[in-house]
Structure 1
Amino acid sequence: MAEGDPWRDTAEHGGIPRKSGLYSRHSIVQCENASLEMCTLMNCLGYGPPIRQARRDAYRDSDRLLNARGTDIVTQITTGSKAEGLTCVFESDCDMMFVVEGIMCLENGVDSDKLPRETTVFTLNTGVCYHGHSRLNLLERRGDIIPSIICDALCEDENGRVLLSSALFVDVFKDRTSAPNEIRHERAGPSMPSSSGPFHTDNVLSLRCHCPVILSRWAERTRHWPSPDIVRKVVTMGSFVTPVGFKGSEYHHVEWRICFNTGENELMSSLNNTQVYIYVLLKMVVKDVLKPVKKEITSYTVKNIVLWLAENNPQAQFNESSLFYWLREGLEKLRTAILKIELPYYMIPERNLMAACGLDEGQKCTWVNTITDMMNEGSNALLRLPRIRKAIISHPEPLMWYNKKRVEMELLHLKLWNRHKQCKDENGVVNRQDPMLQAISSRIVELVKEVHTRMNREGSRLNDLIEILDMMLM
């Protein structure tokens, strides 16, 4: 934190860090009031606890319904911002992880005898890779039935040992049959992005991984957060490997990245409101202010900054009146990560998330200066964020009215999608005469017409109801 910030020591009430004597009590109260108002605004924008929980529940139900109807070969898990409950239906990509069942990757030294005999086992060879990455060596143990996507991706290393190639694995995945109206896009890391209309998905194929030593090191750290029961739960969730090697490695085509998607979903769900709002605002800063072109910085970078802040500071200090203090702390951590090209991965600190990010000196200087300016601007810095700026202009009555309609629309769509899955027969045909489907669809039409009527009354000439519907879900 820069010298001269009014919040440094601990206040008697609320645990808000402050530095007394440099700023007036009036200045501090202004900052606290601005923090409280911003928290209210974040609730209006759809980031409050009830809508977050409703989104999480809807996507979990969606996964459950799809997996119940699917095969035993692949399990679908929604991850990222959708699983965190932080984005509307069309607001950002939906991150989908597809786990190939019947395969287990084990840390060196872990006994495989307790696994079912039909499981095909690979061992993690981390010694020859960058931190958080591994090669997968095939044990002399093949399951009864090995999926073709595994068989077609096997190769040999320089010593004749059988490996699972991440590059071949993705190539086989690319050749899968497309869904109707699906458009595929260029590969991005382990992901094969696709879109259908306004709905975009990042599809990642993965394998289950058991790495108790890595998780034990994470669990045994001294911390303020998360609570011991959440730590235990994250450990039981295990990990995965995804088909992407370290960017700077000459052997990236046979390397895999160790990740903890389901555990991270649980961690993000256990953050308090203030921590969630910091995360959302920092993501907006990256997307709308820094505007990286080649993913030099991503929302995952920001997520790790927030997780470290939560772990290293007393939870009582993260309250609604301290939002701007912690937002400034987050900006400082982001600035330091850019300046030093260094940010430890929360689950495996030896892995530097900024390594090989491709950030050049000119861009680095520009971003450092921009973040410094924002830190000096205080609460006015958020006027740089288009969504926040528009919300402030329309606050309170128009924003409150529209947000009520938009939230109802989103919840109806989430219910509609899951009801569609429930009303499909064995041939995939939807029973559109289902009373609940019809009721949901009718209310969606009513809502769009209500919004269209008010837009016209206030001067808009947009008459395309489908376009209005899509805009409400973005």
Structure 2
Amino acid sequence: MADEGIRRDEPGEVLKQFQNEQASAETSTLMNILGYGPHMRQARIEAYKAFDRHMTAEVRGIATWITTGSKAEGLTSYLESDVDKLFVTESVICLEDDVDSSSVPVETTIFRSCSRISYSGHCRLLLERYGTTIPRSVYNALCDDGFGRGLLSSDLYINQGLNVKLEEGTVQRERAGPSLPRTISDLECDTVSALHFYCPSILTRWAARHRYWPSPDVVREVVSLGAFVSPVGVKGSDYEPVEWRMCFNTGENVLINNLNDTQVKLYVLLKMVKKDVLQPQKKEVTSFTVKNIVLWIAENNPHSLFHERSLFHWLYEGLYALRVAIDTKEQPYYMIPGRNLMAACALDHEQKRSWIATIDEMIEEGPRMILRLPKIRQAIIAHPEPLRWYSGRRIEMEMLVLIYVNRHALGMDVETDVIKQALIRRQFEIEREVRMRMVMEGCRVNDFSYDWRSMLMLNDHTYQKTFDLHLKLTYIELSSVGN
């Protein structure tokens, strides 16, 4: 039921007059300038979809590549955060209990999910039938369940990836849950190897909920995209090494991309609060938790109430919902409400009290709370004209890089591809423009390295220094932001 999520107003209840409407509208405009507007988000989304198509074509039907997370949502710049990828094997399918398997092609290996003794949203996978071909990674991960049946071990499955020979320039990092993080040149990539999961009853229950959002067409699209299982169990479970987690990455991408502009900006601001204010060190609260809070808020409230002049109202609602999740250590998963996203978080009593007090202070501060977010604060105190000028160049630079990456994925050679050559020329022109502007503003550009990476690495010290200097912040403000 929808009321398992966060609801502060009864269905149909008219909200009180929105407060801080002017501040909401100005913050929304500012976020457009910083690259969170609908046009820029859509351009990023389309670029990563194109890249996924190129990557999938490269492996020729063996697997499907799917970008997930903030990149698929169009919410982060090229080098701003990790690239989250799903690598889905095509010759294996997992079926929910009671689903008829007779129509599955004989080439496909079938596993049957067993969730009766697993935590909600998780299952074990029992081998039902070998296909004509079976991936080596799947075969090597099979073990005996104690009753002579084949059981697919999530631990064995994912750990095989640690022994794969990597290309030159790629560095393997320590496993993180179901993902194998790698550094590839300038990019931090988290790759999760997953399997298709056909679960009509779970998706039917989700689709049947009473809701204000999303529309019936979007609900049908989410259902049609199905689900996956990723190789990770519940921490502390007796069956953790052989448990798999149900996930709905493609459906969630569609849901986020169908939020309206104010709902997306609420999501961005709550992610900033999580990262820059709460600063969790052990994933006690994650961006995924924040995403689910926003999805519940969107589902439980009339769509017409989300507009640019109500942004701060919904930010207070989001902070309240985050406070409740931290206080109770409960946050239902939007797709499967029985799964508690806070169940295994390493949140101790003192940290919980501290975070609750911080959120209470933010709510009391009103619109001034936005100054706690470094990226927003920098933009607010900047001169409007330099901010627009620099942000425009940075956004253009990002689009040039995304187009270049997709041309490269298509196998285009820079020596023969005139488009690649034009992209590189324009990149150099933008770098030169920014350098000249910085010199005119009185900056000593030679004090630090500056190129296109500096413009796109939004969390990098070089970028912070470049951005602050260019926006003519005072030396006192520069040092306070740097700290």
The normalised TM-score by structure 2 is 0.90
Q: Deviations over 1:93-126 (max 9, x none)?
A: 1101000111000000000111111110001100
Deviating more after overlay: 255-264 vs 196-205: 196-205
> Is it true that 1:327 corresponds to 2:315 in the alignment?
yes
User: Counterpart in 1 of 2:16?
Assistant: 18
1:57 counterpart residue number? 46
Q: How does 1:57-456 map to 2 (within 5 A)?
A: 57-139=46-128, 141-424=129-412, 430-456=413-439
Shift in alpha-carbon separation, 1:412–1:465, aligned structure 2, 3 A: farther
Counterpart residue identity of residue 340, structure 1: T
Deviations 1:396-420 (A, max 9, x none): 1111001110110011000000111
Correspondence for 1:468 = 451
Residues 106 and 123, structure 1, Cα contact 8 Å, conserved in 2: yes
Structure 2 CA distance for aligned equivalents of residues 116 and 320 of structure 1: 50
Write the deviation string for residues 56-86 of structure 1: whole angstroms up to 9, x where unpaired: 1000001111211223222111111111111
2:136 and 2:30 mapped to 1: Cα distance? 51
Q: Equivalents in 2 of 1:166, 1:458: separation in Å?
A: 56
| Aligned partner letter, 1:302 | V
Q: Structure 2 CA distance, aligned partners of 1:465 and 1:149?
A: 46
Q: Give the superposition deviation at 1:179.
A: 2.3
C-alpha contact 1:8 1:18 (8 A) present in aligned 2? no
Kindly state the Cα deviation for residue 392 of structure 1 after the two structures are TM-superposed: 0.5
Deviation of residue 431 (structure 1)? 4.6
Q: 1:187, 1:340 → 2: CA distance?
A: 29
Check conservation: 2:92, 2:108, Cα contact below 8 A.
yes
SS in 2 for 1:445: helix
Q: How many Å separate the matches in 2 of 1:309 and 1:463?
A: 48
1:467 counterpart SS class: coil
Offset at residue 160 of structure 1 (A): 2.8
- Structure 1 position 43 matched with structure 2 position 41: no
Could you say if the C-alpha distance between residues 230 and 412 of structure 1 is closer, same or farther in structure 2, counting changes exceeding 3 Å? Answer: same
Seen in structure 2, the aligned counterparts of structure 1 residues 464 and 184 have a Cα distance that, compared at 3 Å, is: farther
Structure 1 residue 433 displacement after superposition? 2.4
Q: Secondary structure at the match of 1:163?
A: strand
| Mapped partners of 1:372, 1:91: distance in 2 | 29
- Residues 311 and 8 of structure 1: is their aligned pair in 2 closer, same or farther, counting only changes over 3 Å? closer
Aligned to 1:4: none
Provide the C-alpha distance between the structure 1 equivalents of 2:280 and 2:62, rounded to a whole number of angstroms: 37
SS in 1 for 2:80: coil
- Map Cα deviations across residues 144-185 of structure 1 (whole Å, 9 max, x no partner): 110100010000123232100000001112222212211111
- In structure 2, what residue type is equivalent to 1:297? V
Alpha-carbon deviation of 1:458? 1.6
SS in 2 for 1:116: coil
The 3 A distance-change label for structure 1 pair 255 and 10 is closer
- Answer yes or no: is the 8 Å Cα contact 2:11–2:301 preserved in 1: no
Deviations 1:367-426 (A, max 9, x none): 0100110011111001011000001011411110011101100110000001112234xx
Structure 1 residues 369 and 200 mapped into 2: Cα distance closer, same or farther (>3 Å)? same
Q: Distance in 1 between matches of 2:28 and 2:136?
A: 50
The gaps in structure 1 that reach 5 residues or longer are 1-6, 20-27, 425-429
Contact 2:11-2:300 within 8 A present in 1 as well:
no
Q: Which amino acid aligns with 1:74?
A: A
* SS in structure 1 of the partner of residue 375 of structure 2: helix
Q: What is the Cα-based RMSD across aligned positions, in Å?
A: 1.8
Give deviations 1:6-54, integer Å, cap 9, x for gaps.
x98999xxx98216xxxxxxxx66x100000000001001000111110
Q: Distance in 2 between matches of 1:333 and 1:8?
A: 12
Cα deviation, residue 468, structure 1: 3.5
User: Identity, % of aligned pairs?
Assistant: 53
CA contact (8 A) 1:16 1:317 kept: no
Tell me how far apart the structure 2 counterparts of residues 351 and 9 of structure 1 sit (CA, whole Å).
24
Give the Cα–Cα distance (whole angstroms) in 2 for the partners of residues 71 and 395 of structure 1: 51
- CA–CA distance in structure 2, aligned partners of residues 155 and 459 of structure 1: 66
